[in-house]
Amino acid sequence: MEDLMAKGMKNAQNAVLSGCSAGGLTSILHCDNFRALFPVGTKVKCFADAGYFINAKDVSGASHIEQFYAQVVATHGSAKHLPASCTSRLSPGLCFFPQYMARQITTPLFIINAAYDSWQIKNILAPGVADPHGTWHSCKLDINNCSPTQLQTMQSFRTQFLNALAGLGISSSRGMFIDACYAHCQTEMQETWLRTDSPVLGKMSIAKAVGDWYYDRSPFQKIDCAYPCNPTCHNRVFDSNVHSEV
């Protein structure tokens, strides 16, 4: 950031911090720090794609992702870089989850996420360590392979995800595009960002929703109905040969 500011970014009239997956999480965690780099008159906002990871128990009842995040924070010494407004109240590992720290963010923030985020289903809800017999393997590769019981479990995960979104707080500066797709990262490819057949909520694509929110044309805070209600979804289908988990 210092390098970019020195190259002229400090003179920008409009600035946006964005990213997908780990980059989406980073866009949330460092949103206010990014804003602080610019003069008061600069329009600065952040939008995070597939970065709203939630603290939920896996199918075995274990807190796998909570332990994993605690280890990540300890390994990289991340505590000193996390918002003090959170670390003063909770353990640094918990402050890696947006649901515990996003409410304190003062910079306008837009969250783009699938309610059935494929990474979270694979690594938070049903990681390999919680599914030693591979019961979830086929389901995680393609949502069409999921049994009625597995779909019911995923619907419960969606409910937990929507409850965790309450951590954003209520503000007109917040934006939300939460679709009912089995996907992860929808802003990086034209097919899901802005194409004639891209996923829509309220007849609006992700690109249009983010653009209208960023330029203050209109707010956008929409949460999709439950799977499989949205026919515009581009649901991910994974190759079993390159399936990876944490």
Which of 184, 198, 205, 234 is an active site residue? Answer: 184
Is residue 184 flagged as an active site residue? yes
Question: Based on the number of CB atoms within 10 Å of its own CB, is 206 exposed (0-12), middle (13-18) or buried (19 or more)?
Answer: buried
**Residues 11, 163: Cα–Cα separation, whole Å:** 39
- Catalytic annotation, pick one of 58, 117, 179, 224: 117
Between strands 174-179 and 221-223, the pairing is parallel
Q: Is 117 a catalytic residue?
A: yes
Residue 30 among the catalytic residues:
no
DSSP the chain: -HHHHHTTGGG-SEEEEEEETHHHHHHHHTHHHHHHTS-TTSEEEEEEES--------TTS--HHHHHHHHHHHHHTGGGGS-HHHHTTS-TTGGGSHHHHGGG--S-EEEEEETT-HHHIIIIIS-GGG-TT-TTHHHHHBGGG--HHHHHHHHHHHHHHHHHGGGG-S-TTEEEEEES-S-S--SSSHHHHSSTTS-EETTEEHHHHHHHHHTTS---EEE--STT--TT----B--GGG----
Max intra-chain CA distance, the chain: 57
Q: Which active-site residues does the annotation give?
A: 21, 117, 184
